[in-house]
Amino acid sequence: MSDLQRFSVAMPEELLIQFDNLVARRGLAKNRSEVIRDLVRDALVDEEWDDPDQEIVGTLTIVFTHHAPDLQDKLDHIQHEHHDKIISAMHVHLDAHNCLEVIVLRGRSADIRGITEAILGVKGVKHGRLTATTTGRFM
């Protein structure tokens, strides 16, 4: 960041105390300014995801039982249908009954949300979460 602009922020003392605690939890390399920049970037990424036509990047992490009938075939089918939006997938065997899969997706926000809903809706998927990240626009 070469062209930093300064501005001041007023807030209630209790909120500032809580914010300073957040800054402290983020580590030694963080200060108020860097944490505010992080929060602004997070807000801009969230807004980017709200635009259905915006190109976004995300990871979908799912946990499922591999004993569910045809589950792996259904998950593979969905992923193959959207091969142009799925960058990579990693499959992990958690124990004798459960697996974890991390799927990296890139495409229009509406498409990525649709793929996510299709995968999370497959019977046997126990839990899943789509995590937003950015294509780097706000760095």
Q: Return the CATH number of the domain spanning residue range 55-133.
A: 3.30.70.1150
Amino acid 115 reads: I
Question: Do 39 and 76 contact (CB within 8 A), yes or no?
Answer: no
Q: What is the pTM of this model?
A: 0.77
pLDDT band at 79 (very low <50, low <70, confident <90, very high): very high
Question: Do 100 and 116 contact (CB within 8 A), yes or no?
Answer: no
What pLDDT does residue 130 have? 95
How many C-beta atoms surround the C-beta of residue 38 within 10 A? 13
Question: Do 62 and 103 contact (CB within 8 A), yes or no?
Answer: yes
Least reliable range by pLDDT among 4-8, 21-25, 26-30: 26-30
CA distances for 72 relative to 56, 69, 93, 94, 118, angstroms: 26, 8, 13, 15, 14
Mean pLDDT computed over every residue of the chain: 90
pLDDT tens per residue across span 81-96: 999 999 999 999 999 9
Question: Do 37 and 88 contact (CB within 8 A), yes or no?
Answer: no
